[in-house]
Amino acid sequence: MTSEPLAKVLDDALTPAGYRHKTAPVGIAQQLASDMEELRDKGLLSNDYWQRYGRAFRFDPPPEVPEPRTLIVVAWASPAVKVVFHTDAGPLETVLPPTYFSQAGQARCLEILREVLGGAGHSVARVRAPNKLLAVRTGLARYGRNNLAYVDNMGTYARLDVYCTDADLQAREPDAKRNMMLSTCSSCHACHFSCPTGAIPYDGTVIDALRCLTHLNENEGPWPDWVDPQDHNGLLGCMRCQETCPANRSFLRLKAVVAEFDRDETAIILEGRTPECLPAGLRAKLDRIDLGNDSVILGRNLRALCDAARPVLPA
């Protein structure tokens, strides 16, 4: 089988399953890393941010694919979903933002890739890479002012993942002059005004990532003093800029409840126990929504959501 029909076979397998994808020569990985380093050198990415996340921008071939030739960036719809906790004060309905509940989609995508590429004698593996930047460079997505990637017909309610393969899919070098920003962002500043922590600039597309509530929600530790308790709005991440963005208007519908925790289970989660200290049934339940390893952070975040849900009494 030649590379051209292999690329078509891959497209014919991914598209009906709900996946959209673009390919690029593996050499683009070095350029993407250089682009991120340039942002750091210009002061648009802080040194603290680089120390925490810089490694994620470097592409290292995985053991399964020691000589990769092609990168494949894939997107699929990932709506926000509801999670309900039963507290002493009553039920608390929370939101798990897009992309967090994604292991099933990842597994199915990799299964398809292995069926097509592996069937043709090639290797494929999921890899760490600046997936948003790759998606934008290849034309799969565009940046919003909020630094999120917008995929056609999905908005920001899309999961992005990157895979590499030793198959030559005849990927073309992306157009360096491609407009990377949503056209609607030029005259819209809704995300800037809705950001609860002031992380999104009025102009530009590089946010103050360490000030973003999503960053704070995903990392253990006490809340900074400047975070308003009323800012908390999601079990992980933050939904404010996505909910107010006009480009997302068609994608805001939440799925039905994906998990519900009774009072005993909720009480244990609120304790912030480590994953190994959770009852087996509760751990399995959290694993089903891809949160089994996040119990310490979930406890802290859920406590914050409970506090935010309490009525504020006048002084």
Angle between helices 103-113 and 3-14 (to 10 degrees): 150
| Cα 240 off chain centre by | 15
In a domain, 95, yes or no: yes
Domain total of the chain: 1
In a domain, 76, yes or no: yes
> Could you tell me the CA-to-CA distances from 184 to 121, 173, 206, 243, 249 in Å, in that order?
44, 27, 17, 16, 13
In a domain, 163, yes or no: yes
Are the CB atoms for 172 and 139 separated by under 8 Å? no
pLDDT of residue 246: 94
pLDDT in tens, the chain (315 residues): 444 589 999 999 999 999 999 999 999 998 888 888 888 888 778 788 888 877 778 888 999 999 999 999 999 999 999 999 999 999 999 999 999 989 999 999 999 999 999 999 999 999 988 899 999 999 999 999 999 999 999 999 999 999 999 999 989 888 767 778 898 998 999 999 999 999 999 987 789 988 999 999 998 888 999 999 999 999 999 999 999 999 999 888 878 889 999 999 999 999 999 999 999 999 999 999 999 999 999 999 999 999 988 765 444
* Domain, as residue range, for 33: 3-309
In a domain, 314, yes or no: no
pTM, full prediction: 0.90
In a domain, 126, yes or no: yes
In a domain, 199, yes or no: yes
pLDDT of residue 313: 44
In a domain, 315, yes or no: no
DSSP the chain: --HHHHHHHHHHHHGGGTEEEEEEETTHHHHHHHHHHHHHHTTSS-HHHHHHHGGGGS----TT-SS--EEEEEEEE---EEEEEEETTEEEEEEE-TTSS-HHHHHHHHHHHIIIIIHTT--EEEE-S-HHHHHHHHTSEEE-TTS-EEETTTBT-EEEEEEEESS---PPPP-TT---B-GGGGG--HHHHH-TTS-S-SSSS---GGGSHHHHHHS-SPPPTTS-GGG--SSSS--HHHHH-GGGGGG-PPPPEEEEE-HHHHHHHHTT--GGGS-HHHHHHHHTTT-TT-HHHHHHHHHHHHHHHSPPPP-
pLDDT of residue 43: 79
In a domain, 122, yes or no: yes
